[in-house]
Amino acid sequence: MTEIDRPAETLPDALSRCADAVAAALEQAIARAQPVSDRLSRAMRHAALAGGKRLRPFLVVESAALFGVPMERALPAAIALECVHCYSLAHDDLPAMDDDDLRRGQPTVHRAYDEATAILAGDGLLTLAFEILAEPTTDPDPAVRIALVASLARAAGGEGMVGGQMLDLAAEGRFADAGRPAPDLAGVARLQELKTGALLRHACEAGALIGRAAPPEMAQLNTYSRVIGRAFQIADDLLDVEGDAAAVGKAVGKDSAAGKATFVELLGVAGARAELDRLVGEAHAALAGFGTRATLLQEAARFIAERRN
């Protein structure tokens, strides 16, 4: 099916259809990987299958759909990214990092199992991601598979999410020798562009690679992904201030307790909301060249800005 005969779908329907497909594909991928320990297998499933909006896979699928790629073709790259995201959450929740008991409304992996198992489950998902990307079913062209591997590695590693997480821990004043990122707007933006923005950027890049996007189309998606990355984090900061733990599915109020600078602290609640509105407009504009094919991605920008969990 091409984008031309793709049936119109509302964003909630498209998100839920994608989330179901992602859960089924993750379940199969973990089973195929055959972890030798049943406990490890169950912990990996707990980390990967306990709910979640599946926003990053949705962005992969919809970015690829801009180029007429059906969901099934984009799904392997989409679940590879979700494996990395789920690993990062399992590790972030550990006592050595955020020390959280609740994630996606369920006990965190180390609470449901133990710390060593949670670390290994995260490691298992991280490596599974790259195994999936290496498989020919991900893309028939080896050059595209290598580009996907390189893009995800850069996004997840020391120059991306892991680097951002390190800056975030430094912002709490944990390391005497590591320096602290400046507690101003530029410092917070840089930290967040790495910690959470990098995987969102990879999501759109992966879809563009699978869709064989031309450089100008790649650039438009890159702009969109940067803008929604910023919106995602501002919305997250607002949830930390105003959200309800039951609805959010995790503890709230942790940023101010840790004394961290956030967008909301620097802009104020009204300023943060105004910035979100501006960013939603910018995200729409970035994809204007794709016409109605980009409607779901444009609506996703508003969803990200207004999300309640």
Helix (H, G, I), strand (E, B) or coil at 289: helix
Site track 50-69 with ligand GRG (rule: CB under 6 A), x = hit: --xx-x--------------
In terms of CB distance, is 84 or 287 closer to ligand GRG? 84
Is 260 a binder of ligand GRG (CB under 6 A)? no
> x/- site string to ligand GRG, residues 87 to 126, per CB under 6 A?
-xx-xx----x------x----------------------
Rounded to a whole number of angstroms, the minimum distance from the CB of residue 165 to ligand GRG is: 4
> Which of the ranges 29-37, 58-66, 86-94, 139-147 carries the binding residues for ligand GRG, by CB under 6 A?
86-94
On whether the CB atoms of residues 255 and 262 are closer than 8 A, the answer is: yes
Rama region for 249: left / alpha / beta (φ>0; ψ in -120 to 50; rest): left
Q: State the sign of the Cα–Cα–Cα–Cα dihedral 64, 69, 70, 74.
A: negative
Complex with ligand GRG: residue 195 or 230, whichever CB lies closer: 195
CA angle 308, 275, 66 (to 5 degrees): 70
Residue type, 169: L
- Tell the burial category of 244 from Cβ atoms under 10 Å away from its Cβ (0-12, 13-18, 19+): exposed
The tokens describing 223, both together, are: 């702009």
Q: Which residues pair with 102 in a beta bridge?
A: 107
Structure tokens at 242: 């105003």
| Residues 6 or more apart whose Cβ sits within 8 Å of residue 278 | none
Residue 188 CB, nearest approach to ligand GRG (Å): 13
Q: Which is nearer to ligand GRG, 73 or 91 (CB)?
A: 91
In the region spanning residues 151 to 210, those forming contacts with ligand GRG, defined by CB under 6 A, are 161-162, 165, 195-196
To ligand GRG, the closest distance from the beta carbon of 288 in angstroms equals: 26
Site map 14..53 versus ligand GRG, x via CB under 6 A: --------------------------------------xx
Q: What is the DSSP string of 37-60?
A: -HHHHHHHHHHHHS----HHHHHH
- Contacts to ligand GRG by CB under 6 A: 52-53, 55, 88-89, 91-92, 97, 104, 161-162, 165, 195-196, 236
